[in-house]
Amino acid sequence: MLKKSVFIFISFILLFAFLGCSETITTEAISYTEQAPTVESGYLVDNIQDANILHAWNWSMTTIEGYMEEIAIAGFSAIQISPMQPQKDYYGVASWGSSWWKFYQPLGFSIATENHALGTKAELESMCEAADEYGIKIIVDVVANHLAGGTNESLNSDVLEYEPEIYNQNLIHTDNGLISDTSLKATVQGAMGQFPDLQTETEVVQLAVLDLLKEYVDVGVDGFRFDAAKHIETPEDGDYASDFWPTVIDGVTEYAQTLGITDLYFYGEILNSVGTGRSYSDYTQYMSITENGLSYNIRNGVLTKNTERLMSLSYQTGVTPDKAVLWAESHDTYASGETDSISDLKMTKAYAIAATTAYSSALYFARPAETTLIGECGTNIWQSIEVTEINKFNNYFVNANEYSYAEDGFYLRERYSSLDAGVVIVDIDGNQELDKVTVSNFADGYYHDQIGGTTFTVKNGKISGMIGESGIAVIYNNTFEPKPTVYVSDDGTHGSFSDTKVIDIYSYNTTEANYSINGGEKVSFEGNIELSLEHPDLNATVTLDIEVYFNDYVIEKHYEYIKSNIVVEEVVVNNIDTQTVSDSVLVAWVWGGTEDGRWVEGVYNNGTFTFDIDAGDDHFLLVAFPSGTTDYNWNINEYQTNDVEIPADGIFDGSTLVWA
């Protein structure tokens, strides 16, 4: 939160301070205007194709809105949100691993107004308004290739409520098998798993998708990511061609222009290949696309310490940098298990290369924790100093030239203009110390590593210095004033504690930082600290308040943690809907932390179900099986509830359960 605007005069290293015989640093007083991190302040960029995008995967609209200032400070000029179309099988709050895919089996082409785990249309509009205050653009994921399926050749019966015309006319492709890149027909008319391919060549489907995009524009969305874009035909697809893309994209562009909006952004998901006999340019004439192959080579070049692979990076034929979206990982690679075991540090190294590529946009996937529920933020690595400074470097050098090369086990990405120069260095081999590594576009002088805080020296076209433990250096003399950053390892939403809770506080770019426990005296701190949370009472709420400053700009955070000394050995669920579970066998599915769940039988009596739990159990859901069932199997259940956190006293109001 910005308290007030001031002019701050500090001493700063001149960008091109030439080395004399004494090699002293020349300094000069520079005037800074205290501003919020916006496009206007020079902190962010305006064009999404030049931006780094935070993929707030599975975050709710209220969660995103609550983090908007922090997202801006982290240098993300755009946010990509999950689909907000009516979702299949709404069970309320659930774990991300069990439910994220439901957003990709929507029931129709409209914005959900209820029964959506990420929020409502009104909450989306509120979030977009908050983003506008910072100049942050919102990109929404759009599922247009398919709707929820009953089988791979039938629509889910719930689609009828939202899209009666599509459902009643059965506007799907049948008898085409599953999607495949081996033929044009299989690519654009094959079914995707257990949900059928829509007849996107029909006017009914095209206008339904167009109406959805218009609705998004009305609530403030700035761009669209088209899921499975390569599986929707283009006008160049011969016998299978259609005008889907010009109808939809030109249509919403023209509609936006009537509202004074001239900069809508579009990109499509194209994975692995574009398909047999097709060209990437069939899509790039309408939109940017994911550059999956280049992104893969970046990540694997880092993982295998292969600088030769990194030096041979190239775009697919028909793709130019200004039509490419890169990433270190995506939600698909993470959820499928391809990248989830790769360390945050290695992933950040790959992101450093992708995110500083000239003219390409880069997507940063905000990883969930194993216990993260749908709607929650998950881990906070996206706020780390490494990610933040990578983003700010990209924003500072937008439209600047690029030169990349490798030397002595380091990968260097220079960005330069006639006035400024900077370099991002990724330590591929773990050498840490650069000793006279070649740079091509730097004047002799001293340059600041924005991550490590150390000074690098350039003399006679050679750079020397020490890279910090992260293995990433972001080296240039940035004249934009830093903003303070703070986040915690546990925000209090992951269960109670019984005695003492130890958390970590991470902070940087602070001139002053304080915390207070339970409303007590403010305690100053610096950098990253470990903190023990306690309360004298057996059962209480422990509060933690943090404020961090950079000069007059302050960030204030409030957290609450539940201390409970009640030993819960059983859970009592009251007020269960008796009609839902009549003549059924009611069983609990119980789990704790990252452990696998297990079936727990209990006692049901007139709307109350009681079951035992073990130490460490923290979540449950209820499942109703057909009468007489003794062998519990997910495939035969009649109903199930949303995931529920076990209350501190073990008593839960069953009237709030969502059964499906």
- Give pLDDT tens digits for 235-279: 999 999 999 999 999 999 999 999 999 999 999 999 999 998 999
Length of the chain as a residue count: 660
Rg (CA), the chain: 27
- The number of C-alpha atoms within 13 Å of 428 and in the hemisphere containing its C-beta is 25
Q: What is the mean pLDDT of each successive set of 10 residues along the chain, which is 660 residues long?
A: 34 34 36 74 95 97 97 98 93 81 95 93 98 98 96 93 97 93 94 93 98 98 97 97 98 98 97 92 97 96 95 93 97 94 97 97 95 90 97 96 95 94 96 93 94 95 95 92 94 86 96 96 97 92 96 95 89 90 92 84 94 91 94 90 87 88
3-state secondary structure of 249: helix
The arrangement of strands across the sheet holding 455-459 comes to: 433-438, 462-466, 455-459, 445-448
Given this model, what pLDDT does residue 34 score? 60
CATH architecture of the domain with residue range 485-563: Sandwich (2.60)
Nearest CA among 314, 241, 319, 313 for reference residue 280: 319
Nearest CA among 652, 585, 642, 640 for reference residue 613: 652
Q: Rounded to a whole number, what is the distance in angstroms from the first to the last CA of the chain?
A: 42
Given this model, what pLDDT does residue 9 score? 30
Given this model, what pLDDT does residue 170 score? 97
Given this model, what pLDDT does residue 402 score? 96
Domain with CATH 3.20.20.80 in the chain: 52-396
Given this model, what pLDDT does residue 288 score? 98
What fold characterizes domain 52-396?
TIM Barrel (3.20.20)
CA–CA separation, 627 and 585 (whole Å): 5
Residue 71 Ramachandran class (φ > 0 left, ψ -120 to 50 alpha, else beta): alpha
What DSSP string runs through 22-80?
T-PPPEEEEEEE---SSTTTTSS-S-GGGSEEEE-TTB-HHHHHHTHHHHHHTT-SEEE
pLDDT in tens, 394-451: 999 999 999 999 999 999 999 999 889 999 999 999 998 999 999 999 999 999 999 9
Given this model, what pLDDT does residue 3 score? 36
- The number of C-alpha atoms within 13 Å of 104 and in the hemisphere containing its C-beta is 16
Domain with CATH 2.60.40.1180 in the chain: 7-34+400-475
Given this model, what pLDDT does residue 67 score? 97
Query: How do 324-327 and 361-365 pair as beta strands?
Result: parallel
CATH architecture of the domain with residue range 570-656: Sandwich (2.60)
What fold characterizes domain 7-34+400-475?
Immunoglobulin-like (2.60.40)
Given this model, what pLDDT does residue 371 score? 81
| Relative orientation angle of helices 251-258 and 203-219, to the nearest 10 degrees | 30
Nearest CA among 558, 514, 564, 567 for reference residue 541: 564
Question: What letter does residue 247 receive in the DSSP assignment?
Answer: I
CA–CA separation, 230 and 181 (whole Å): 10
